[in-house]
Structure 1
Amino acid sequence: MRIGRRTPRRATDGRRTSGGPKERGNRIVVLDALRLIAALMVVFYHYVAFGEGWDGPQAQLFPVIFRPSAYGWLGVDLFFMISGFVICMSCWGRSVADFFTSRVIRLFPAYWLGVLATTAVVALVPGGLEPHAWREVLVNLTMLQWPVDVDHVDGVYWTLWAELRFYLLFALVVWRGLTYRRVIAFCCIWTTLALLAKGYGSGPLSDLFMAQYCWFFIAGLAFYLIYRFGPNLLLWGIVALCFAMGQHTAMQTWRRTLQHVGHNVPGWGVAVLLAVFFAVLAGVSLGWFHRINWRWLPAAGALTYPLYLFHESIGWEIFHHLQHRVDHWTLLAGTVAAMLLLAHLVHQLVEKPVANRLKLHLSTAFAQVRAADTNSHPHPRPAHTTRPAPDTATHEQQTLVTTAPH
């Protein structure tokens, strides 16, 4: 099958239609629901099944929800699929500078506060988790603790390094400009490199190409191409390959989780949940959920990132100190509600204002870089004209600032 240039399908009245779900602006609201589900899956995995915070065995404390919560770690795989879909969608037609700016203002404001808040809670509350050295905290603020072998301030931060590696690899395509053919080529090349790296065992190449988790990012990219350009055999083939490889790698992760949950849960649940994830993303790309357009979903989706960042260690400290004074069901429900409220406050009071400031400063910085580069290679004026050259620096700065991503 030839990988040719494709254009989005259009309706007869001129509106773009990809068969996809309804959007608010550039936001597919059904994905906000999926993000919230994925975040809550991870929360309940850490609160109910992981084996930290509670003195008694969770299988006895929460017999009704323990088994489904034990599969909550699969929410991370769903996050990765959504990330592949959304990053491809948001980067279409944008530059590397736009891509970099959008990722920084999305990831770092809430993350910086999460690192500092978690460090403070762990240090100030006695008898719980072991505090981290201040040097480790400083490294964590860069989000680069994994490659320099420094412990995470909070265990959930490992997924952020996976996201950063995806951004690094995908930036190569954004640099050239996203097209159907280039994204397809990227998926095929990443698949090949991941398989080769996996064949040589664990090492730097396997870490870079994420042979364990790349299948979910690649599936998300393929689903977005289906959403934007329509389905075909090649795209479904990529999805099928990712599903098969994702099942294989997820079962490896499932075996490792058994030692954390302290209770045997059947492996067929992993296969079923992954099949549901792929079916739902296929439905998103084909427009099965086009009627879902509830106004509260974008607000709910905005809670997912701060909820993910803050819930683990702080929640465990709450359980450790209150479990013998408060009914465990009440404590669990109250902690989840408190974390959702905290996530809302972080989004409104930290993420939004800090992101706006960072966006302005980064856009100005990139404009100055472009202006300096332009001025270092001036275009010679024709000999017959005496009109002064335009103020290139001002023009470049205005252009970048006004086209920065929203």
Structure 2
Amino acid sequence: MPQASPRRLVALDGLRLVAAVAVAVYHYTTFWHLDGEHVPVYFLPQAAKVTVYGFLGVELFFMISGFAICMSSWGRGLGDFVASRASRLYPAYWVCIVLTVTVTAIFPIRGYLPLYTDHTLADIAVNFTMLQEPMGVPGVESVYWTLWSELRFYLLFAVFVVVPGITYRRTVIFCAAWMVAAALAPAIDNEVFTMLTVRHYAPYFVAGITMYLMRRFGTTPLLWAMLGLTWPVSLYSLGERVRLDPGWKVALWPAVLIVTVCYGVLLLIALGRTDRLSWRWLTVAGALTFPFYLLHQRIGYIVIRYGHEHTGLSVGVLIAGTVAVMLVPAWLVYRFVERPCGPRMRDALRRGAEAVRAAAPRPAAQAPAPGVVPRRRDLALAELRAWAELREPVAPKR
């Protein structure tokens, strides 16, 4: 199959930043005690009932992730896939842990969010592995729970798609099988199976993958059917996500509308309706998204608390200013950590993978015994296999 180099989709980068800012505004305007006594709705009685839906930025993140991971993995082997993902996540993640622990130790604030606990050195050390969630260790930031969902998606995609070789057919089968497994998880009622299938968020990842297949190979009735299946399943899971208790009843219908709009916007990107956008600042915005997401919560709380105590600014202005302020350390992490360290780590991991492949013993080729004729069944299977390869759809040239 001809492999075209993926084009940078600046609209996708901009959508990432929208998702990150939505999550940040949600955190700044719900649950925590902004002044040590009152939750933000005390200061923002109307706005907080709208910004509470910012938690849906996580669902948008997962859709974008399905799209982007499928796009960036095409034509790559397992070694490249692992090197790419690890070098993209870990350098910024490690530095953000250090920054968060340092800032919160220097500027401690109490009584702002009951979910947080004091972290021991052992807790912080486990956080560096990114496996604190399955190990039952509290995250340095509560937002780190989404990384565990991402890692499970990477694991499934690597094992069932990347290792055997990524193709259109294999990716479609993977998406269909994953959706079936996620739908059956409640009936099976097995904790390990539910965990592996990422039950609540599988529809979003699958939707993103499906939309990338539409972009690469064009729309087909099968892909439309798959995308149409993910939408109601995701809405069903959404019912559990809106069971929040910020002090008022959170209605379901705005969440349904927002998720539907997210589907529509990503679909427009997939179908090429935004390809004419060439604003370079959107690419930078997309690059800031990951460190901004990792840093925004606890440090942002500190900025808002100290701003509220020492300035006469309104709470709304403080929250908007904090979002802008948190983009500064995010840019510093991107510029001085991700950009220089990511490629070096990726190259080192690739060299390690190549060394492992070079050192692996190769089985000696066995020639067929003299006079042995292949069975008709083997020949038929070989012909079917060749026919299947010829039937792979070819990506249209753009």
Normalising by the smaller structure, the TM-score range is 0.7 to 0.9
1:118 corresponds to 2:100: yes
The answer as to whether partners of 1:140 and 1:153 remain within 8 angstroms in 2 is yes
Contact 1:35 1:301 in 2 (8 A): yes
Query: Residue type matched to 1:184 in 2?
Result: V
Q: How does 1:168-179 map to 2 (within 5 A)?
A: 168-172=155-159, 173-179=161-167
Letter in 2 for 1:244: P
Contact kept, 8 Å, 1:59 with 1:263, in 2: the verdict is no
* Partner residue, 1:221: 209
What does residue 357 of structure 1 align with?
344
Distance 1:267 1:377 in 2: 59
What is the match of residue 295 of structure 1?
A: 280
| 1:296 Cα deviation from its structure 2 partner | 1.2
* Residues in 2 aligned to 1:121 and 1:367: alpha-carbon distance in whole angstroms: 40
Give the distance between the partners of 1:253 and 1:137, measured in 2 at CA.
28
Alignment of 1:262-281 (within 5 A): 262-281=247-266
Q: What is the CA distance between 1:206 and its match in structure 2?
A: 0.3
1:359 offset after TM fit, Å?
1.5
Provide the residue aligned with 2:328 in structure 1: 341
Say if 1:307 and 1:340, in contact at 8 Å, map to a contact too: yes
Q: Distance in 1 between matches of 2:139 and 2:33?
A: 16
Match of 2:393 in 1: none
**Conservation of the 8 A alpha-carbon contact between 1:85 and 1:224:** yes
* RMSD (Å) for aligned C-alpha atoms: 2.1
SS in structure 2 at match of 1:71: helix
Alpha-carbon distance in structure 1 between the residues aligned to 2:355 and 2:58: 38
SS in 2 for 1:147: helix
Structure 1 residue 79, shift from structure 2 partner: 0.4
Identity of aligned residues (%): 41
CA distance in 1, matches of 2:154, 2:33: 32
Aligned equivalents of 2:365, 2:300: Cα separation in 1: 60
Per-residue deviation at 1:67? 2.5
> 2:132 corresponds to which residue?
145
- Distance 1:50-1:232 versus aligned 2 partners, 3 A rule: farther
Instruction: Work out the CA distance in 2 between the residues paired with 1:323 and 1:264.
Output: 27
1:182 paired residue among 151, 162, 170:
170
Aligned to 1:393: none
Where 2:125 maps in the other structure, the secondary structure is helix
Residue identity in the other structure for 1:203: E
Q: Structure 1 residues 372, 159: CA separation in 2 closer, same or farther (over 3 Å shift)?
A: same
Q: Which amino acid aligns with 1:298?
A: T
Q: Which moved more, 1:237-246 or 1:200-209?
A: 200-209
Q: Give me the whole-angstrom Cα distance separating, in 2, the residues matched to 1:53 and 1:179.
A: 50
State the 1:53 CA deviation: 3.6
Partner residue in 2 for 1:366 = 353
State how far apart, in whole Å, the 1-side matches of 2:169 and 2:181 are: 18
What SS is found at the alignment partner of 1:146? helix
Asked if the contact 2:242/2:251 (under 8 Å) is kept, the reply is no
Match of 1:32 in 2: 13
Deviations for 1:213-238, whole angstroms, at most 9, x for unmatched residues?
10000000111111111111111111
- For 2:261 and 2:49, how far apart are their aligned partners in 1? 17
Q: For residues 347 and 127 of structure 2, what CA distance do their matches in structure 1 show?
A: 25
Using the alignment, how far apart are the partners of 1:89 and 1:323 within structure 2? 44
Q: CA deviation at 1:64?
A: 5.1
Q: Distance in 1 between matches of 2:318 and 2:143?
A: 22
**Equivalent residue number for residue 252 of structure 1:** 240
8 Å contact from structure 2 (residues 77, 165) kept in 1 = yes
Alpha-carbon shift at residue 36 of structure 1 (Å): 0.6
SS at match of 1:302: helix
Distance in 2 (CA, whole Å) between partners of 1:318 and 1:120 is 14
**Counterpart Cα distance in 2 of 1:78 and 1:50:** 22
Distance, in Å, in 1 between the alignment partners of 2:213 and 2:177 is 16
Shift of 1:287: 1.8
2:63 to 81, 84, 108: 81
Distance 2:146 2:225 in 1: 27
Q: Distance in 2 between matches of 1:250 and 1:51?
A: 23
Distance in 2, matches of 1:127 and 1:288, equals: 46
- CA deviations on 1:32-88 (whole Å, 9 max, x unpaired) are 111010001001000112434443232242245322211000000000000000100
What letter matches 1:299 in structure 2? V
Residue 309 of structure 2 aligns to a residue in which SS? Answer: coil
- Between the two proteins, the alignment pairs up a number of residues equal to 357
Q: Structure 1: how far apart are the matches of 2:33 and 2:187?
A: 35
- What are the residue-to-residue correspondences of 1:393-404 with 2, within 5 Å? none
Secondary structure of the 2:242 match is helix
1:11 equivalent in structure 2: none
Q: Which runs of 4+ in 1 moved over 6 A?
A: none
Q: CA deviation at 1:242?
A: 0.7
Give deviations 1:291-314, integer Å, cap 9, x for gaps. 222121101110100000000111
1:100 aligned partner: 82
How far off is 1:338 after superposition? 1.3
| Residue aligning to 2:194 | 206
How far residue 378 of structure 1 moved from its aligned partner, in angstroms, is: 7.9
Task: Note the C-alpha offset of 1:202.
Answer: 5.8
How far apart are 1:334 and its partner, in Å?
Answer: 2.5
Task: Return the match for 2:123 from 136, 148, 155.
Answer: 136
**SS of the residue 2:130 aligns to:** coil
Code of the aligned partner of 2:262: F
Q: Which runs of 5+ in 2 are unaligned?
A: 111-115, 367-398
Q: Give the 3 Å change call, closer, same or farther, for CA 242–132 of structure 1 in structure 2.
A: same
Alpha-carbon distance in 1 for matches of 2:190, 2:20: 28
Q: 1:368, CA displacement in angstroms?
A: 1.2
Which runs of no fewer than 5 residues in structure 1 stay unpaired?
Answer: 1-6, 9-14, 17-22, 381-406
Contact 2:65 2:208 in 1 (8 A): yes
Give the conservation status (yes or no) of the 8 Å contact 1:122–1:130: no
> 2:29 aligns to what?
48
Closer/same/farther in 2, CA of residues 143 and 322 from structure 1, 3 Å limit: same
Range with bigger deviation, 304-313 or 354-363: 354-363
Q: Give the aligned partner of residue 90 of structure 1.
A: 72
2:295 counterpart residue number = 310
Check the 8 A contact 1:122/1:131 in 2, yes or no. Answer: no
